[in-house]
Amino acid sequence: MMRPLAALALLCATALPLAAQEDPAPGPGTMQQIMLSEDLIALGLARNDPILMLAALRLRATLDEDTIAMATEFTDKASLLDAARAAAAGQDALLGLIEDAATEKGRGFCYPSWGRLICY
């Protein structure tokens, strides 16, 4: 009788910290993508270059905002869009591309393979 109770206590002790975890940390590839977009934003703002800001918007659009909560230290999408629109003022083609990037959603795709779900 003691063994099943001890096993149950051990199981509960290890399961509770796992259940208490909030959001998993993004993987290294995702973090690299976020940091690259931040570098593009900084360079685009410094040069007032809407194309660099557009590239950052496109990189951010490939991230799934539901599963990856952006930290407050990163540039938010609204201020990036405002800066890109201001830098592209008078260039209708660029403004159209910026609007397309503004409405673009994450491209996460999942498919079943050999009994498990693979997502990218």
Q: Is the pTM of this model over 0.75?
A: no
pLDDT at site 46 = 96
In the prediction, which pLDDT does 78 show? 87
Cα–Cα distance, 44 to 52 (Å, whole number): 5
Cα–Cα distance, 42 to 1 (Å, whole number): 64
Q: Would you state the pLDDT for residue 115?
A: 72
Q: CA-based Rg of the chain, rounded to a whole angstrom?
A: 21
Rounded average pLDDT per 10-residue block, the chain, 120 residues: 58 56 67 88 95 89 61 79 93 90 68 66
Let me know the angle formed at the C-alpha of 16 by 14 and 17, rounded to the nearest 5 degrees: 80
Tell me the CB-side half-sphere exposure of residue 54, using CA atoms within 13 A: 16
The pLDDT of residue 43 is 96
Q: Cβ distance 81 to 102 under 8 Å?
A: yes
pLDDT of residue 26: 67
